[in-house]
Amino acid sequence: MSKTEAGSAKIKVGIVGGTGYTGVELLRLLSQHPNAELVAITSRKEDGMPVADMFSNLRGKVDLAFSSPDKAPLTECDVVFFATPHGVAMAQAQELLAAGVRIIDLAADFRLQDTASFEKWYKMPHACPDVLRESVYGLVELNREKIRGARVVGNPGCYPTTVLLGLAPLLEGRAGSSSPLVDAGTLIADCKSGVTGAGRKAELHILFSEASDNFKAYGVSGHRHHPEIVEHLQTLHGGPVGLTFVPHLTPMVRGMHSTIYARIDPKAREVDFQKLFEQRYANEPFVDVMPAGSTPETRSVRASNMIRIAVHRPGNGDQLVVLVVQDNLVKGASGQAVQNMNLMFGLPEDAGLGQVAVLP
């Protein structure tokens, strides 16, 4: 542990980019975390403004004011979260690591190990490939032990979290197996996200009168989460996979629903897929495999770090349908980042993440 010991001094936390949706969600979660102390929150534009003046839900909970990055005491922190556009974390990573600060990036700088793929999809060169090589992909349910010792964690994208956890039990270590469970070459992920997935910005397609009472697909010809999903599916599988991924924008503030289709291998027709998923996630505090026949709702995870999965096999045929829901801002972003922090500092994995979903 860099500067603190679990159970003693609190973890000193900095957040770069605190005015977006993932930034305020980090503030909400960390302000209630029993082992975290917020010491810096940056925004060049809002320098000097009290956080609670922008986000009234944090009145009486967060006493910090925003500060410009050049004035924020980031090198005095134990961990710094980057809730920023792509490219920011990698520009500051070397300096922070040299000061003994751990990094959790909620953008894409440390998600893809293939720099050519990163540069193609994010339209920028990678500034620190050496740091990228040591970084760990922060999907806890797949990389728990690696995350514990990491200095740099690339927090997964929201869509990839649902797809990877929805497919992991079917693909793990099955390349070349004489008993594959599904056809890894014909996977389909039909995914829907609330408008906050687009970020806190003024753009035409996410204006209320444009997004409300409407539903549409986007990124059908290619989406930057596709290479991230495929890279990590192939790592899971140990071989090539084929994935059709189509995201959709839904007229709700937060929430994500992914419907995943996988063709059952003829040799796996007798497999109890419900039991397979239940056993795989039996000890995962934030993965709920629901009873057979369930249809999980996005509101069942709203404002919580829980992800809920339901497994269907219509007509007991050869098509498997996996339904996955999560809050795109919590398990899909900031909650998962806090889950990563807990592991990196030897804390209980669920510390500060016990929020029950909000209904109605």
Query: What amino acid positions are annotated as catalytic residues?
Result: 158
Place of tokens 């140990």: 238
CB 241 within 8 A of CB 181: no
Cα distance from N-terminal residue to C-terminal residue, the chain: 41
Q: How many CA atoms lie within 13 A of 153 on its CB side?
A: 34
Angle at 130 between CA 79 and CA 225, to 5 degrees: 75
Nearest residue to 187 (alpha-carbon basis) of 248, 113, 265, 111: 265
DSSP state of 82: E
Per-residue b or e along 86-122, where b marks 16 or more CB atoms closer than 10 Å to that residue's CB: bbbbbebbeebbeeebbbbbbbbbbbbbeeebbeebb
Strands (E), 75-193: 79-82, 102-105, 136-137, 152-154, 187-193
